[in-house]
Amino acid sequence: MNGIYIHIPFCRSKCPYCDFYSLTKSIDLQRLYVSSLIDEIKTGKRFKGIFDAKQKIFDTIYLGGGTPSVLSGKDIYNIISTIKENYKITEKAEITVECNPNSDIQSLIPYFKKCGVNRISLGMQSAVDIERKKLGRSSDKQRIFDIINELKRNDFDNISLDIMLGVPHQTLDTLKETLDFIKECDVKHISAYILNIEENTPFYKMQDKLNLPDENTVCDFYEFTSDYLKNIGFTHYEISNFAKEGYESRHNTKYWLLNDYLGLGPSAHSFINGKRYYFENDINLFLNGTPPVFDCDGGDEEEFIMLRLRLKQGLDLDELNIKYGETPVKRIMKKVPFLQEQDLIDFENNIISLTEKGFLLSNTVISEFI
Ligand code: SF4
């Protein structure tokens, strides 16, 4: 089954750590962009000769960004309903919209319901107001709590919260405050990302003054988060993702399982019939109808190994053998005893999966295998 990703490259303001492609431009540009997106969904002209989305069946739609919730409810409704009118979307498709708590989410809810949005991903980052402020987020904890309750009152039970580990001034106590808040909110999915200081961001230039926790402390945060969330009923199903049973992100799982997905909008990536494409980080190119750039062939043996090991379900060596032959299996088997001894992997029923320690040191473990 296939997925659709729609990139909304607008934000109300730019967070100082963020290097995603997004603009803080005028409402006119947003209107132009939404109508260009809708035209692409209807005609598929940028993908002509590459992919005919009308021939495929999709079971996930994901509006990410940027900040999709800066759009009006009507725009979001128009984008999703155009997808539904023009493509084959399964009845129980997962339809996610990423929202920033400082958007007017209450006004979006009726439109979400009308077009079948059934999953909300809220970019909370931290429940500690001073940490959120450092990250450039203005809404406070009470507001986030109120939004979650409003969503629940409107029957949105599939809510995901993003949190960040290793943010300025974070301590184990403040992290616990964020996790206690998650417990109180009783949401179904958590994405926990370690803050990475990217070049060309304000944080990069001021990193010495940010009061960032050191690397060992961030590792402790990761382990603490994982233990805490597991104790309150979450499964750690991917390196950075936790879900209550049945609430794993179906869309994001497509990336790790190498399923096909179509990405529309500047900076959006697609994986189609074993090939990777992307739209350049330039809204004008998208508005002009420029087709996506061919990136590379995807889904080779190394990528398969790397992506499967991100998931708790792990790397099935029988499947690897069928797809890529016995050479990689033999190579991997040589590493198994050592990595098992180090408590970095589990090996059962011919499936290798990373332990909690392995998740934390995933780059090292994966590079051992590939
Ligand atoms: S809201 Fe999200 S996409 Fe926009 S600047 Fe902040 S982190 Fe980046």
pLDDT per residue over 354-367, tens digit each?
A: 999 999 999 999 99
Can you read off the two tokens belonging to residue 205? Answer: 């230039």
CB of 14 sitting under 6 A from ligand 1: yes
Q: H-type helices in the chain, by residue range?
A: 27-43, 73-86, 105-115, 129-134, 141-153, 172-185, 202-205, 215-231, 250-257, 283-287, 301-310, 317-324, 326-341, 356-360, 362-369
CB of 255 sitting under 6 A from ligand 1: no
Q: Is 58 helix (H, G, I), strand (E, B) or coil?
A: strand
The pLDDT score that the predictor gives to residue 37 is 98
CB of 11 sitting under 6 A from ligand 1: yes
The pLDDT score that the predictor gives to residue 321 is 97
Q: Which of 101, 93, 122, 109 is nearest to 188 (CA)?
A: 122
Say whether pLDDT at 105 is over 90.
yes
**Ligand 1 atom 8: the closest Cα is on which residue?**
18
CB of 65 sitting under 6 A from ligand 1: yes
Answering whether pTM is above 0.75, one says yes
Pick the atom of ligand 1 nearest to 137's CA: 6
51-81: pLDDT as tens digits: 999 999 999 999 999 999 999 999 999 999 9
**How far from the centroid of its chain's Cα atoms is residue 246's Cα?**
17
User: Averaged over 257-274, what is the pLDDT?
Assistant: 97
How far, in Å, from the CA of 65 to the mean position of ligand 1?
7
Q: Which of 224, 164, 248 is nearest to 356 (CA)?
A: 224
Can you read off the two tokens belonging to residue 61? Answer: 């739609």
Is there a contact between 324 and 315 (Cβ–Cβ < 8 Å)?
no
Q: How far is the CA of 300 from the CAs of 127, 254, 273, 312, 316, in angstroms?
A: 40, 16, 12, 20, 15
Helical axes 301-310 vs 362-369, angle rounded to 10°: 150
Phi, psi at 47, each rounded to 5°: -100, 15
User: Averaged over 200-212, what is the pLDDT?
Assistant: 93
Is there a contact between 140 and 125 (Cβ–Cβ < 8 Å)?
no
Is there a contact between 4 and 61 (Cβ–Cβ < 8 Å)?
yes
